[in-house]
Structure 1
């Protein structure tokens, strides 16, 4: 396994690169070559790593470690057959070398044979006392197999070996989250913090767990401890700001977001959060200032354009809202929520044809929310296209068959379209489902309140329902 590149002496690297630039041939110990090769591989300089392996094997043709490094390169380049042949040769020389099994596992993993990779890694575990890297590899294989329980146990072993292995710690918490065992994650992190009380990463993760469970005070305490452990930890300030927002403490939230900006360069996400806080406080000019800074900082952040859209929509500046929602759509035209927002703006502008198109886009992209069907049907009703409005409502009822609101609306549109029998049927269904929502029908279609047969039908259904 490649070692940390920081452990490599610069002298060997300089000497090797000097040799490559001249015709001179320098002799290196096999261990020196290993260090040089690890350095190049860890820094992504594969061609130089291959060159070092070639020269190293010329000087030390029997070096098992150099041959294993050659295998590592072959696996990296997906030359599995050649790698397997070389591993067979090496296993005949040293059948107890765990690195042989690790490389065989890498080959199986790259071929999506994850269970076989696990079996080989377990075999490697039996052959070494230095099992840290193997447990890390096992954890990743289990993740590939969606075996989160086994992955969690493997990464826990890594954390046991090294409390500062934050990558494994994150993976442990990821497994807890995927298993929806939030209580287990909190217990694990608290236990970890008993041993490492000044670990800002663990406090930060604990705070996020509490935040996800709406335990806001506990979350605040955790983020405070993360900040005490490292007062430059931007993530803790940012998450603390989110909690304070949830609690309606917008000025305090702003202070924490501004702290992140003072520690490092401003981010679009911080500007966006500050803008939302100012909007909640009624500071419209400041809200607009920060929203515009959001998109200036990151023109591709579609959430920034959406925030500006919502800001202008609430102020009934519909033309400006339309301009900015189109910015968002240009960035992410596959987002159904943007098309839905676009449809609402067109409706407010009485541009019903464009609103119809936008709602169709939203539904085609997978937005099937109840109000989408209701609002789309209203758009078509406004244009007098009762047939299409009926089809939209029928389609909506496929998703919400128990929706009295859709049924009352459908009954009304049927009546506008002079389909009396269908009106009777749907109105009866709606009243049997929820007679209290009859007022929705009466409010939306007041012109039919004086239709005698309709009044008779309503009276009959009311009698049978009491």
Structure 2
């Protein structure tokens, strides 16, 4: 069994014991290492209130532990309570001035406050005072990343991973920095070196797989995840990533098999069930898709993706009334999704709820103004209602946001023609033809009757290369 998995289970059991103690308001003894694990678990999951509660309980049992006082200061910083955090760490500095964690904590507070140059200076101070510690290099990476200096961030994340290749968060942050700075492909060798040095490390193959996946090299990703699973059959995250890779390759049957192995037997996660539902949806297996989405919702009622998935199935089967119910539920849970709003608008439109459809399009374009489909679909609705001026205004709004989007120019031209505003239409068409000549075919796809207009044909011919 994967050693990491065993460790993780042990930590989770300790956390459950601590939560039982809090719930029953009893005092239970934990050793110092257990408290450190509990605090670390909460901070990793950004549950800072619970982390602080664990710090207080730990300090009550071990009042002279500088490690716990340092933990408390770091948690306060993460909660944004900088004054209390600084005051706490200065107390520790008074007691133990040479402790490298004093400098680390000062660095964490500075990072949280957005004082990145100071943060870096503190972390470099800590590096000088101690043997190689992966967490200090990780914090340096985080400070540089928050400072938008992705190249320097990547350098220190790499340093951290050389010391501790199992730090999953460092892997994710490094991949992000390499992606943002467009240096991922040129850095694949860094991840490959770990598999060369230790060919039997499941984690090394898993990390290499993630790098290939992010670089869009799906076949290489499949091979790397396969090796990870070969070494450790219960490496659930590797099964999950392999499944996602198969989805990217549109191999939905293979993806389903891997999602089924991405969790301990009999303990499916809502995410895995939702992903399996989506694979069945892609295969147009509506009943199976619905069943898995429903199981995801039963386990996690707040899972907007699953509610949305059921809506998509209803819409595919032309059950628009039912689809609307599920889309509304999805947007109530996550109102920041353009996709949800546009799907709701389309379903409302299908059953003739024009006002509700317009409201949903309005919301969708508010949430994602750069998404051209929202503007285009909303404008069609107005055009079909005979509201040419409204459709024209929408296209002009959309073009203010995305002036280089040729499709919007062609659509505006079509609406201007429909409104009889020919001079404006031809001026708009000239701009569109200069931007992207080949897309002029869209004009005739929207409005086939325009093909017979001689003036239009002549204008297009002038721009034909």
In the superposition, the TM-score normalised over structure 2's length comes to: 0.74
CA distance in 2 between partners of 1:120 and 1:137 (Å) = 10
* Greater alpha carbon shift after TM alignment, 168-177 vs 209-218: 168-177
1:461 aligned residue: 459
Structure-2 separation of matches of 1:402 and 1:68: 56
Q: Per the alignment, in what secondary structure is the counterpart of residue 336 of structure 2?
A: coil
Could you tell me how far 1:225 is from its partner in structure 2?
1.1
Distance 2:163 2:220 in 1: 29
Mapping 1:47-446, distance limit 5 Å = 47-51=56-60, 78-79=83-84, 80-81=86-87, 84=90, 87=93, 98=100, 101-102=103-104, 104-105=106-107, 108-109=110-111, 111-129=113-131, 131=133, 134-162=136-164, 164=166, 168=170, 171-261=173-263, 263=265, 265-401=267-403, 405-419=407-421, 421-423=423-425, 425-426=427-428, 441=443, 444=446
Uncovered stretches (5+) of structure 1, i.e. residues with no partner: 7-20, 22-34, 57-65
Query: Cα distance, 1:112 vs. partner?
Result: 4.2
The answer (yes or no) to whether the contact 2:308–2:330 under 8 Å persists in 1 is yes
Larger radius of gyration: 1
The residue that corresponds to 1:16 in the other structure is none
Q: Supply the distance in 2 between the matched residues of 1:209 and 1:304 (Cα, whole angstroms).
A: 28
* Contact kept? 1:173, 1:185, Cα under 8 Å: no
Partner of 1:31: none
Pick closer, same or farther for the CA change 1:193–1:360 going to 2, 3 Å. Answer: same
* Distance change (3 Å), C-alpha of 1:423 and 1:297: same
Paired residues of 2:191 and 2:208 also in contact (CA < 8 A): yes
| Aligned residue number for residue 25 of structure 1 | none
**In 1: Cα distance, 2:438 partner to 2:309 partner:** 37
- State the 1:209 CA deviation: 1.7
> What's the CA shift string for 1:300-329, capped at 9, x where partnerless?
121112222222222222222222111111
Native 8 Å contact 1:432 1:465 kept in 2: yes
Query: Structure 1's 330 and 51: CA in aligned 2 closer, same or farther, altered over 3 A?
Result: closer
Query: Which gives a bigger RCO, structure 1 or 2 (Cα 8 Å, sep 6+)?
Result: 2
1:263 match: secondary structure: coil
Figure out how many residues of one structure are paired with residues of the other and give that number. Answer: 417
SS in 2 for 1:260: coil
Task: Confirm or deny: 8 A CA contact 1:232 1:263 kept in the other structure.
Answer: no
C-alpha contact 2:370 2:402 (8 A) present in aligned 1: no
Unaligned runs of 5+ in 2: 1-6, 11-25, 40-53, 77-82
1:27 maps to: none
- Mapped contact 1:68–1:100 kept (Cα < 8 A): no
Alignment of 1:3-22 (within 5 A): none
Deviation sequence 1:230-261 (CA, Å, 0-9, x none): 11111111222222333343322222222235
CA RMSD after TM alignment: 3.9
Cross-structure match for 2:51: none
Q: Give 1:402 shift.
A: 5.8
Q: State the alpha-carbon separation in 2 of the partners of residues 46 and 361 from structure 1.
A: 43
Check 1:261–1:152 CA distance in 2 against 1; reply closer, same or farther (3 A cut): closer
TM-score, normalised to structure 1's length?
0.74
